[in-house]
Amino acid sequence: MARTRKRFIAGAECPACGAADTLQLTISSDAAGNVREEQVQCVACQHTFSDKEEPQQQTSAKDDTLIGLFKPE
């Protein structure tokens, strides 16, 4: 039996409508407990997106900082 867990992401803001604390994380896992899919849906505007897409801007900013700090030469 596949399982689906849902929980709200505290303090998160919807990128589509800008509402706060409306983002619900849905984690789908298979019978073995392996996570198959993570999706975030805004309960206010029904906008749905992948959890892995949303924080890309923050990740790239950190990467830039790391590149600046660690110079191999």
Shortest Cβ distance from residue 34 to Zn ion (Å)?
Answer: 29
In the block, residue with structure tokens 């992948």? 50
In the block, residue with structure tokens 């998160």? 12
| β-sheet bridge partners, residue 50 | 39
Question: Which residues are near Zn ion by CB under 5 A?
Answer: 14, 16-17, 42, 44-45, 47
d(CA 60, CA 47): 24
Q: Using the minimum distance from each CB to Zn ion, give the nearer residue, 12 or 27.
A: 12
Shortest Cβ distance from residue 43 to Zn ion (Å)?
Answer: 8
**With contact defined as beta carbons under 8 Å apart, do 39 and 50 qualify?**
yes
Q: Using the minimum distance from each CB to Zn ion, give the nearer residue, 15 or 60.
A: 15
Q: Using the minimum distance from each CB to Zn ion, give the nearer residue, 20 or 35.
A: 20
d(CA 29, CA 37): 7
Shortest Cβ distance from residue 29 to Zn ion (Å)?
Answer: 25
